[in-house]
Amino acid sequence: ETGVTQTPRHLVMGMTNKKSLKCEQHLGHNAMYWYKQSAKKPLELMFVYSLEERVENNSVPSRFSPECPNSSHLFLHLHTLQPEDSALYLCASSQAWVNNQPQHFGDGTRLSIL
């Protein structure tokens, strides 16, 4: 139990579908992150929220839309995805968005685009 819970664990969707990934952290952290993990590639940072405000957006296509309603919850809304978007999507949290705080990860959502 890492304190970061992601749902669903697996998701298969067509390119025209709309779905959302959910992340919840029980650690009292103030920063939350979305990463994309593809085979043979390093973890790619997608979005960062600090105290519910987006502070980092790494040139992610607009078909990925994050939402952070409070410091414990983070969503990633998906629409009209492409096959190359198939990957493991990891959520993480840290105490704060300062001074290289260790990040704690959830177990990810395995996304497959048909």
Write out the residues near other proteins by the rule CB under 8 A. 2, 4, 6, 31, 33, 40-43, 45, 48, 50, 55-56, 90, 92, 94, 96-108
What are the residues whose beta carbons fall under 8 Å from the beta carbon of 70, sequence distance 6 or more? 52
7, 8, 28, 20: which is closest to 71 by C-alpha? 28
The CA distance from 92 to 34, in Å, is 7
Of 48 and 78, which CB lies nearer to other proteins in the complex structure? Answer: 48
The least CB distance from residue 72 to other proteins, in Å, is: 17
**What ranges make up the beta strands (E) of 15-85?**
18-25, 31-37, 44-50, 53-57, 64-70, 73-79
The least CB distance from residue 40 to other proteins, in Å, is: 8
The least CB distance from residue 82 to other proteins, in Å, is: 23
> How many other β-carbons are positioned within 10 Å of the β-carbon of residue 62?
7
Of 64 and 97, which CB lies nearer to other proteins in the complex structure? Answer: 97
Of 15 and 27, which CB lies nearer to other proteins in the complex structure? Answer: 27
Of 17 and 95, which CB lies nearer to other proteins in the complex structure? Answer: 95
The least CB distance from residue 58 to other proteins, in Å, is: 9
